[in-house]
Amino acid sequence: MPKNVKNTTLPRLLDLIAPHSCRGCGKLGTTLCECCKKYIVNSNNYNNQPGIKELPPFYTVGNRDGLLAKLIYDYKYNSTRAIGIKLAELINEKLPHKLPPNTYIVPIPTSTKHIRERGFDHILFIAHHLAKINHKLKVKPLLVREKNTVQVGSNKNTRILQADQAFKVKDKTQIDSNATYLLLDDVWTTGASMLAAIKKLRAIGAKHIIIAELSISMLKN
Ligand SMILES: [Zn+2]
């Protein structure tokens, strides 16, 4: 029996017995109805770039506020897996229709502490669903946690340093220089995790990288 059984059983049970309701309008039977999904996709088409020079192509569902923020919170902290499927659909709507033939989703690795608390790896879960609905994509979890670090630094520089030490490329990873690596994470704040991941992939020869962030929430400093 897995060690974290206590954390995983209850949310799974609730997922099964409680009917889902749309987090936007309350409609029963789904965690996000088509109408509210369209609303999120269409209302977030402005000002969603981190504004960092030489950043690989960047795609996001939108700013982390309103309904999108509610969905991400419920997904991460209440472990509502059905919302993960909707988040995968939302980011898929924002990706370019013409993706290069060999595009691999590389999830930003979640800390083991968070996996234990939530009962699952929330980014990996979305990555698998994204690959399921977008047949041009395959999942390649090339990055792993270096040690059990969690981002706790309050300022940008501390976060960048922590992120750089937080994960590494899996041993014996072979990079295909013709392939495209799509880095996937849930929120861009300082960009520390994403920038560290880009650096690590480039260091082992990845030439084509694109970024998919579920949401963006810029820190002021
Ligand atoms: Zn709705």
Write out the residues surrounding ion ligand 1, Cβ under 5 A: 22, 24-25, 27, 33, 36
3-state secondary structure of 144: strand
Listed by start position, the domains of the chain span: 5-47+57-216
Cα torsion for 106, 107, 108, 111, to the nearest 10°?
-140
How many angstroms is it from 71 CA to the middle of ligand 1? 12
Lowest mean pLDDT, pick from 3-7, 51-55, 139-143 = 3-7
The answer to whether 137 and 104 are in contact (CB under 8 A) is: yes
Domain 5-47+57-216: state its class: alpha beta
Task: Quick: pLDDT tens for 46-78.
Answer: 667 787 888 999 999 999 999 999 999 999 988
Q: What angle do CA 209, 210, 215 make, to 5 degrees?
A: 145
CA of 28 to the centre of ligand 1 (A): 9
H/E segment holding residue 12: helix 5-17
Give distance in angstroms: CA of 20 to centre of ligand 1. Answer: 11
Ligand 1 center from residue 70 Cα (angstroms)? 13
Angle at the Cα of 8 from the Cα atoms of 3 and 14, rounded to 5 degrees: 155
Residue 3 has pLDDT above 50, yes or no: no
What is the separation of C-alpha 73 from the centre of its chain, rounded to a whole number of angstroms? 13
Report how far ligand 1's centroid is from the alpha carbon of 25 (Å): 4
CA of 202 to the centre of ligand 1 (A): 41
Q: What is residue 146's predicted lDDT score, i.e. its pLDDT?
A: 81
Q: Which of 5-14, 89-98, 146-155, 169-178 has the lowest mean pLDDT?
A: 5-14
Cα(213) to centroid of ligand 1, in Å?
23
For residue range 8-53, what is the model confidence (pLDDT) as tens digits?
A: 555 455 555 555 899 999 888 999 999 999 999 998 766 677 878 8
> How many angstroms separate the alpha carbon of residue 43 from the centre of ligand 1?
14
Longest dimension (CA), the chain: 48
**What separation in Å is there between the alpha carbon of 185 and the centre of ligand 1?**
24
pLDDT digits (tens, 9 = 90+) for 181-206: 999 999 998 888 899 999 999 999 99
